[in-house]
Structure 1
Amino acid sequence: MRGSCLCGNVEFQIGGEPPRIYQCHCSLCRKQGGSSSSSAIIAEARNFCWIAGQEHIASYVRPTGFRSDFCSRCGSPVPNPLRATAYYWVPTGLLDDSMNLEVGAHLFVGSKVSWEMIPSNGVQYETAPKLSELIELVHSGS
């Protein structure tokens, strides 16, 4: 599965079976993505490969550790290493072929905007599960 930013400067590839998507409805993810939620997959680092454009990636890190990497040309959020794990956070909208991916979880449903309707697919968490639990959930069955 391949993906890229809006301008095409940053490109990557993910091998193996794709995990399920998680959608986060917290205020940080809403601000980072400019929408009601953030949709992403958690890809195993051993299956993730940059194809082009790493030199075009800029980062913003909050004191809490929240990290947002983005293309310095078009501003698209781009994959970044998921904290101190062997995984990458990958925005689903960057994937060239994401039409058949399934949603496995909704995070921070207690923080969603009032006008957002969360579908019944996926496990719903009022806040967030432990990262290890989320990783296990989205990779189970994949």
Structure 2
Amino acid sequence: MKGECLCGKVKFEIEGELPNLYQCHCSMCRKATGSSANAATFVKESNFHWISGQSKISTFQKPTGYRSDFCSVCGSSVPNMLRGTDFIWIPAGLLNGVVTSQISVHLHMTSSASWESESDNCIRLDAGPDSLESLNQALQRTSR
């Protein structure tokens, strides 16, 4: 399976079967993604190969050890070594093609965003909205 960042500068390949995915709901993953959770998996280093763009990767690391590698061109999170292991962390959103893996673990649910839980009355669209105005109207209707 191949993957790449948003701009396509950083590319990689994974050999073998892709493991299932997890979602981390901690505050650091929410801040790093701007979303409710970070979807990812990890693979053995021996099954991972960079195709291109390693020189485009920048790293941010907190004193606690939290690390985020990202494409310096588009800002996409990119794979990185899990410290002290022989595993590579893989952001699921970078994977190309059909991914048959499923989310099988949710982490840090006690610190998940208060707005994260699904609502039965959510509007669900198969594609993007017809316009920004129609999306704004839908947001106003569902927030009441």
Regarding TM over 0.5, the answer is: yes
Q: List per-residue Cα deviations over 1:40-97 (Å, max 9, x = no partner).
A: 0111111000000000000001000000000000000000001110101110000002
* Structure 2 spans left out of the alignment, 5+ residues: 119-144
Partner residue in 2 for 1:60: 60
Residue 45 (structure 1) aligns with: 45
**SS of structure 2 residue aligned to 1:96:** coil
**Pairwise CA distance, 1:117:** 2.5
Q: Which runs of 4+ in 1 moved over 3 A?
A: none
For the pair shown, which has the larger CA radius of gyration, 1 or 2?
A: 2
Task: Give me the whole-angstrom Cα distance separating, in 1, the residues matched to 2:45 and 2:31.
Answer: 26
CA distance in 2, matches of 1:117, 1:23: 14
Identity %: 52
In the alignment, does 2:86 pair up with 1:86?
A: yes
Larger CA deviation: 2-11 vs 100-109: 100-109
Distance in 2 separating the partners of 1:71 and 1:98: 23
- In the alignment of these two chains, the number of paired residues is 118
SS of residue matched to 1:100: coil
Task: State the shift of 1:98 in Å.
Answer: 4.8
> In 2, distance between residues paired with 1:106 and 1:92?
14
* Structure 1 residue ranges without an equivalent (≥5): 119-142
Deviations 1:103-126 (A, max 9, x none): 1210001111112127xxxxxxxx
CA distance in 2, matches of 1:98, 1:35: 22
| Contact residue 92 and residue 98 of structure 1 kept, 8 A | no
**Aligned mates of 2:58, 2:20 — CA distance in 1:** 27
Q: 1: distance between equivalents of 2:100 and 2:81?
A: 24
Judge conservation of contact 1:80–1:89 (CA < 8 Å) in 2. yes
Distance in 1 between residues matched to 2:117 and 2:96, nearest whole Å: 26
Measured in 1, the distance between the counterparts of 2:54 and 2:85 equals: 20
- 2:130 paired residue number: none
> For residues 61 and 114 of structure 1, what CA distance do their matches in structure 2 show?
26
Query: Pairwise CA RMSD of aligned residues?
Result: 1.1
Q: Which residue of 1 aligns with 2:6?
A: 6
